[in-house]
Structure 1
Amino acid sequence: MNDVHRLPGPAHHNWDWQSRAACRELGSAPFFHPAGERGEERESRDEAAKRICGTCPVRTACLEHALQTREPFGVWGGLTEEERRAMLGRPARPSLV
Structure 2
Amino acid sequence: MLQLSYQSPQVTAVPVQRAAAREDQDGPWHTEAVCRRDEAGLFFAPSKEPTAARLSREEAAKRVCARCPVLVQCREHALLQPEPYGVWGGLTAAERRVVLARRRRQDIELKKAQSAA
Does the alignment reach a TM-score above 0.5? yes
Query: What residue is the counterpart of 1:7 in the other structure?
Result: none
Match of 1:85 among 89, 93, 97: 97
- AA in 1 matched with 2:34: A
Note the C-alpha offset of 1:15. Answer: 2.1
Query: What residue is the counterpart of 1:6 in the other structure?
Result: none
User: RMSD of the TM alignment (CA)?
Assistant: 2.0
The answer on 1:31 being equivalent to 2:43 is: yes
Match runs of 1:46-65 below 5 Å: 46-65=58-77
Note the C-alpha offset of 1:12. Answer: 4.4
- AA in 2 matched with 1:11: R
Amino-acid identity (%): 48
Q: How many pairs align?
A: 82
Decide which structure has greater helix share.
Answer: 2
The answer on 1:21 being equivalent to 2:21 is: no
Which protein has greater RCO, CA pairs closer than 8 Å, 6+ apart? 1
Query: What residue is the counterpart of 1:4 in the other structure?
Result: none
Q: Following the alignment from structure 1 to structure 2, what is the Cα–Cα distance between the partners of residues 69 and 52?
A: 21
Instruction: Give ranges in structure 1 of 5+ residues lacking alignment.
Output: 1-9, 91-97
Query: What residue is the counterpart of 2:54 in the other structure?
Result: 42
Higher mean displacement: 19-28 or 72-81: 19-28
Query: What residue is the counterpart of 2:5 in the other structure?
Result: none
Query: What residue is the counterpart of 1:73 in the other structure?
Result: 85
The answer on 1:11 being equivalent to 2:22 is: yes
Larger Rg computed on CA atoms: 2
- AA in 2 matched with 1:65: H
Decide which structure has greater strand share.
Answer: 2
Note the C-alpha offset of 1:24. Answer: 1.0
Instruction: Give ranges in structure 2 of 5+ residues lacking alignment.
Output: 1-20, 103-117
Q: Following the alignment from structure 1 to structure 2, what is the Cα–Cα distance between the partners of residues 29 and 15?
A: 23
Q: Following the alignment from structure 1 to structure 2, what is the Cα–Cα distance between the partners of residues 59 and 44?
A: 20
